[in-house]
Structure 1
Amino acid sequence: MDIAALIKVAAVSLEATGILVIAIGAILSTAHGVAGYLRRNATVDLYAAYRRQLSRAILLGLEFLVAADIIRTVAIEPTFTSVGILGAIVAIRTFLSFTLEVEVSGRWPWSRPGQEQPKEEARQGVPPDPRGAPLEGPREGRPCRPE
């Protein structure tokens, strides 16, 4: 078997793996969602959990599909047209991955885990009350400490 045939087999294998990951992830996510619905598990937001699980499967499957496209385009048919098409495909799949990652994690990829957005009190230079009391005062909406 020559190198071109091995590369084609690798690309097809990666594509099949990506498709299987997405399909199996969709099936498992749906099964988990239906099971949670039948149990009437009210402590979990079933829709959000279903979307998170499905998004993770799609993200993983997209990674395999992008790898297959890169192998096929660069190793087998390195023409300007195929590289341009690869660039468009990778850009679209990267955008999808980016938006799904934001959907799954609930934060921007460049922000650190646990990093919160600045609150109104921090922007006004008033430290938050450790007792959790509201900081909004009666005078002109300025922050103040509760008595």
Structure 2
Amino acid sequence: MLDQDEMIKIDAILQKYNYNKSSIIPIMQDIQKDYRYLPEEVLAYAAKHLNVSEAKIYGVATFYENFSLQPKGKYVIKVCDGTACHVRQSGPILEEFRKQLNLTAACPTTEDKMFTVETVSCLGACGLAPVCTVNDHVHASMTPEKARELIKQLKEENADGNQN
């Protein structure tokens, strides 16, 4: 159940798009930006106020890969496993991120919701392979050692309050 503050926040997003159901994708993008995923109760609330079925909203949410129905961490690390990255050993980099954060493919987000590690088919930076992104910031020529250092740096920045 949504509390009053959450309803006000969602109403502001819906109002921004004039409650226009043809704006469902940007509405969902704004919701995901606020929550870092698409919570079930928020989608139900949005569907009701856009006068569309929950099935329609879930259809959009599950069709587009960039939408997530599962909570993600503050830092979303995407490790490229496209051809260029794969042949340049992206696998050990992925495994190092998972090892450092105690994650698996089945459990990609830390319990404290600080980190999520995912693989993607291509990040479009093949000349910089192997690459990963952290919240869409590209890190080129990655190695397992660089992965360890990146996690250490992110943890320090978070402890210092230097990141959002």
TM-score (norm 2): 0.22
Higher percent of residues as helix:
1
- Bigger RCO (CA 8 Å, 6+ sep): 1
Higher percent of residues as strand:
2
TM-score (norm 1): 0.24
